Chains A and B, each alone.
Chain A
Amino acid sequence: EPEVTQTPSHQVTQMGQEVILRCVPISNHLYFYWYRQILGQKVEFLVSFYNNEISEKSEIFDDQFSVERPDGSNFTLKIRSTKLEDSAMYFCASSGVAGAPLHFGNGTRLTVT
């Protein structure tokens, strides 16, 4: 069964550094998402992306964050100048059409020291 793949599975970075989290959505999917889960807290929506632009973003997704679909297969989340509180599991998801269930990747655990 097709799946969403994320790399790396674990990323450690120092405070203030930039990180790029990578995702390969399911190949015929058109809608892409990033979610995060801080340890012990709920899974939270960050951003949705369709037709090469952000369709919706949450309050969490401030100027520190950006997303990009640099080619036909990858979908990336960039975090500029990471903070300690950015430490979380980041999940990428995709769906085929609007309203279809989201399929999630295994996540990237980001640790900011």
Chain B
Amino acid sequence: GEDVEQSLFLSVREGDSSVINCTYTDSSSTYLYWYKQEPGAGLQLLTYIFSNMDMKQDQRLTVLLNKKDKHLSLRIADTQTGDSAIYFCAEGDYGGSQGNLIFGKGTKLSVKP
């Protein structure tokens, strides 16, 4: 079945760039998402990319998509302590399932001062 995989942990120093990686299996994915979850909070939509795009930049966030390798990454420039959270990669296929997103297990980002 469809699957999304992420590494579980990432630790960086404040001011450095963070790169969170994700791989997925569904070749018919239409949208790929990054959600952020802070302790005790819900899933906050950070950014998303259409499968026909290679890159999307939004302020400190850069999303890169390699559709051939089914690899998605999220780069956070100038990482701050407030960026410490769990980051979830998710994929959706709107040609098929409406709103049935497949999530990864999440990457816990720790930012050290």
The CA-CA distance from A41 to B106 in the complex, in Å, is 9
Q: Is the interface of A mostly helix, strand, loop or mixed?
A: strand
Partner of A45, one of B4, B40, B100, B105: B100
How many chain A residues sit at the interface, stated as a range, is 20 to 34
Q: With A42-B105, A43-B43 as known contacts, state yes or no: A99 contacts B31, CB within 8 Å.
A: yes
The CA-CA distance from A66 to B101 in the complex, in Å, is 20
Q: How many residues of B contact A (CB 8 A)?
A: 25
Contact residues, A30-50 vs B (CB, 8 A): 31, 33, 35, 41-45, 48, 50
Residues of chain A within 8 A of B104, CB atoms compared: 42
Residues of chain B within 8 A of A107, CB atoms compared: 42
Residues of chain A within 8 A of B33, CB atoms compared: 101
Contact residues, A87-113 vs B (CB, 8 A): 91, 93, 95, 98-99, 101-107
Contact residues, B37-58 vs A (CB, 8 A): 40-45, 48
Q: With A101-B48, A106-B41 as known contacts, state yes or no: A95 contacts B105, CB within 8 Å.
A: no
Kindly report which residue of chain B lies nearest to residue A9, judged by CB atoms.
B40
Is A28 in the interface zone, CB < 8 Å from B? no
Is B24 in the interface zone, CB < 8 Å from A? no
Is A73 in the interface zone, CB < 8 Å from B? no
A residues near B (Cβ < 8 Å) are 4, 6, 31, 33, 35, 41-45, 48, 50, 55-56, 58, 91, 93, 95, 98-99, 101-107
Known contacts A42-B4, A56-B99, A104-B45, then 8 further A-B pairs from the complex at CB < 8 Å, ordered by chain A residue: A42-B104, A48-B99, A56-B98, A91-B43, A93-B99, A99-B31, A101-B33, A103-B45
